[in-house]
């Protein structure tokens, strides 16, 4: 078995693939590394395949389109202990692999070439990517998955085949880069960075990367893998805050110093409770979707949710809704017997609204969960 395979995803890169393959061959030689250059072709219709082979690369045909698909197919086809990949446009210097090889030999599971702590040639990276997109996504990823990297979108990385197998990567597009880092954080892999130079794209045509659509795919993946921080916990907090604010005034207006809390604060409490419940349920739906699509194993919340049959959960929603309807019936009876002007009735009606909204929300969520579970079967 070889030590290192340099993988180059390729789609109509005849203009640059020859030089990139030559650089990779030279990089292996300079690093004193027994390896090969593997081009994972993604359906090229130009002379890319012939040029790559003529420069000494082994070429495989990836049957599924997409940056992530080409890399996954290439890594799976690699016959080596380690793999390293870089783009075919000449923006990464594949002739300088020594730092990556050294870190991998020292036990790192994943080695990232950081452009933001290295050097970026003028015009090599759009300003929007350099100062907004990449830094924001990187900070969000570090926060959600307890990492400390500087460049989440770097396209030059090295990793062990064992780490690749552990991560179980599935992304087919540009979000493959984010999925790799997310899984590295989830599984606690040893991640290192080394500074690299980003060169200008040496092609005359537009790059395959699309700023907004690919950026959204990266962000969507972060949301899928981190529903607790983004939806579940904030939703629970809003729900409890709103519920507490509402029931604090169950017996009448409350005053804290100069702050007088009355009906308007009860309405605020209902609003926060309903919003919080919606956000929480969104997080749970993402958890269920992620579990069904094998993004990660279901956690304790999903396991608890699946323990109870659909009928029992619907009865919970009906019970909460019935409490609200019961309060409205009591108010209606009092209105008929007494007067419409009783302010305490307005207070009770807000409690009725609270229970009806929460009950209906629960029933809709349980119906949706049942549909998702049916599709899973």
Which pLDDT score, from 0 to 100, does residue 210 have?
A: 60
Q: How many CB atoms lie within 10 A of CB 330?
A: 14
The token pair that represents 172 in the structure block = 């087919």
Q: What is the pLDDT of residues 25-51, one digit of tens each?
A: 999 999 999 999 999 999 999 999 999
Delimit the domains of the chain by residue range: 2-224, 226-376
- Per-residue confidence (pLDDT) for residue 301, from 0 to 100: 83
**Whole-number pLDDT of residue 377:** 47
Of the options 3.30.420.40, 3.40.50.300, 3.90.550.10, 3.30.413.10, the CATH number for the domain spanning 2-224 = 3.90.550.10
Contact between 13 and 92 under an 8 Å Cβ cutoff? The reply is: no
DSSP 171-231: --STTHHHHHHHHHHHTT--EEEEEEEEPPP--SS--S--HHHHHHHHHHHHHHH-HIIII
Phi first, then psi: give them for residue 88, nearest 5 degrees.
-90, 5
Q: What is the largest CA-CA distance in the chain?
A: 95
Nearest alpha carbon to residue 202 among 15, 2, 8: 15
**Residue 159: helix, strand or coil by DSSP?**
strand
∠ at Cα 14 (211, 151), nearest 5°?
35
Tens digit of pLDDT per residue, the chain (377 long)? 899 999 999 999 999 999 999 999 999 999 999 999 999 999 999 999 999 999 999 999 999 999 999 999 999 999 999 999 999 999 999 999 999 999 999 999 999 999 999 999 998 888 888 888 889 889 989 998 889 999 999 999 999 999 999 999 988 888 898 899 999 998 899 999 999 999 988 776 565 556 667 677 777 788 778 888 889 999 999 999 999 999 998 888 888 888 889 888 999 999 999 999 999 999 999 888 877 766 666 577 888 888 889 899 999 999 999 999 999 998 888 777 765 556 678 888 999 999 999 999 999 999 999 888 765 54
- List all residues 6 or more positions away from 101 whose beta carbon is below 8 Å from its beta carbon: 3, 4, 31, 33, 82, 158
What is the pLDDT at residue 42? 94
Terminal-to-terminal C-alpha distance of the chain: 42
Half-sphere exposure of 96 (CA within 13 A, CB side): 12
**Closest of 75, 71, 90 to residue 4, by C-alpha:** 75
Predicted local distance difference test score (pLDDT) of residue 156:
97
Residue 309 has a CB neighbour count (10 Å cut-off) of 10
The rounded Cα 161 to chain-centroid distance in angstroms is 23
Q: Which residues pair with 92 in a beta bridge?
A: 198
Q: Cα-atom radius of gyration of the chain, to the nearest Å?
A: 28
What is the predicted pLDDT for the residue at 296? Answer: 63
CA 17, 20, 23: angle at the middle one, nearest 5? 150
Residues 6+ apart with CB under 8 A from 37: 5, 6, 8, 21, 24, 25, 28, 56, 57, 58
pLDDT of residue 230: 86
User: In the prediction, which pLDDT does 343 show?
Assistant: 64
């Amino acid at each position: 078995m070889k030590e290192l395979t340099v993988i180059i995803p390729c789609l109509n890169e005849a203009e640059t693939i020859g030089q990139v393959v030559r650089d990779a061959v030279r990089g292996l030689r300079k690093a004193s590394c027994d390896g090969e250059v593997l081009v994972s072709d993604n359906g090229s219709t130009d002379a890319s395949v012939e040029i790559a082979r003529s420069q000494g690369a082994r070429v495989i045909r990836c049957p599924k389109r997409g940056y992530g698909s080409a890399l996954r197919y290439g890594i799976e086809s690699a016959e080596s202990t380690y793999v390293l990949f870089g783009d075919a446009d000449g923006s990464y210097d594949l002739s300088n692999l020594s730092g990556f090889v050294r870190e991998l030999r020292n036990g790192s599971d994943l080695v990232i070439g950081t452009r933001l702590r290295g050097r970026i040639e003028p015009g090599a990276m759009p300003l929007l990517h350099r100062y907004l997109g990449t830094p924001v996504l990187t900070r969000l990823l570090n926060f959600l998955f307890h990492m400390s990297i500087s460049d989440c979108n770097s396209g030059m990385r090295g990793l062990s085949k064992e780490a690749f197998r552990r991560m179980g990567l599935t992304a087919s597009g540009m979000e493959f880069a984010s999925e790799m880092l997310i899984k590295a954080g989830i599984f606690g892999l040893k991640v290192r960075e080394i500074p690299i130079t980003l060169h200008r794209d040496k092609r005359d045509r537009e790059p395959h990367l699309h700023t907004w659509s690919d950026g959204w795919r990266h962000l969507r993946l972060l949301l899928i893998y981190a529903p607790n921080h983004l939806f579940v916990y904030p939703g629970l907090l809003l729900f409890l805050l709103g519920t507490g604010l509402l029931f604090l005034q169950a017996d009448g207006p409350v005053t804290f110093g100069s702050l007088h809390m009355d009906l308007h604060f009860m309405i605020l409490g209902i609003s926060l409770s309903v919003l919080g419940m919606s956000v929480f349920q969104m997080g749970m739906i993402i958890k269920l979707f992620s579990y069904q699509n094998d993004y990660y194993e279901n956690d304790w919340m999903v396991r608890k949710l699946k323990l109870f049959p659909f009928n029992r959960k619907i009865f919970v929603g009906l019970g909460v809704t019935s409490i609200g309807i019961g309060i409205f019936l009591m108010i209606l009876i009092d209105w008929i017997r007494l007067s419409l002007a009783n302010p305490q009735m307005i207070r009770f009606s807000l409690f009725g609204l609270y229970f009806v909204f929460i009950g209906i929300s629960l029933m809709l969520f349980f119906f949706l969960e049942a549909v998702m579970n049916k599709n899973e079967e």
